[in-house]
Amino acid sequence: MAEKVLVAYASKYGATAQIAENIALRLKKAGLDAEAKDVKEVKDIRNYSAVLLGSGVYAGNWLKEAADFLKKNQDELAKRPVWLFSGGPTGGGNPVEMMKGWRFPDALKPIADKVKPRDIAFFHGVLEIDKLRFAEKMIIRALKAPLGDFRDWEMINNWADGVAKALKTNPGFGELENRR
């Protein structure tokens, strides 16, 4: 199997897609064969040696498409190196601290435990009022959530570079990890 890396994502308004595309670009710059794809476009992960899976977070949950992808592919994901990431809160500060320790949806933790991700990252997101539906606008205004793009590209790049280093220093990462 060729050592190809999939950066799969689910994105409601495009911010998480941009994070995934940036991560794939960083992996390519490190010399890896990587591509970013919407989870709805991924038919089979068996052609990939490693998978990074990310989703936007809304009300503490991953988007349905990302959750379904994780559930559907859990057996194949458990055979290869996997990293998980989420795009979420707006505002300043550490996103995990802002979310009181939340890193990943509770409902998906049993599947993540089976897959054994190498890391679970949680990045700041984007909140643009013009892209929201009426009901979402009302909730955001009531909560007085900070508007704007709060993604920390340095943090995202450093994380992607760490993934690239882990893959490049693990010769033969393309071999399925049946020993798990």
Per-residue pLDDT reduced to its tens digit, 128-168: 777 767 777 677 677 777 777 889 999 999 999 999 999 99
Q: Does residue 173 sit within a domain? A: no
- What is the domain extent for residue 158? 4-168
Per-residue pLDDT reduced to its tens digit, 89-139: 767 776 666 666 667 888 999 999 999 999 999 998 877 777 767 777 677
Q: Does residue 175 sit within a domain? A: no
Q: Does residue 179 sit within a domain? A: no
DSSP letter at 39? G
Q: Does residue 51 sit within a domain? A: yes
DSSP letter at 40? G
One-letter identity of residue 88 = G
* CB contact set of 117 (below 8 Å; sequence gap of 6+): 82, 83, 84
Phi and psi, residue 129, nearest 5°: -60, -35
Question: Average of pLDDT values for 68-87?
Answer: 97
Q: Does residue 93 sit within a domain? A: yes
Q: Does residue 178 sit within a domain? A: no
CATH number at residue 107: 3.40.50.360
50-58 and 61-62 strand pairing: antiparallel
Hey, which residues does 55 pair with through a beta bridge?
A: 10, 86
One-letter identity of residue 129 = I
Closest CA to 17 of 74, 71, 68, 85: 85
Cβ burial, residue 168 (10 Å; 0-12/13-18/19+)? middle
Q: Does residue 60 sit within a domain? A: yes
Q: Does residue 176 sit within a domain? A: no
Give the count of domains, the chain: 1
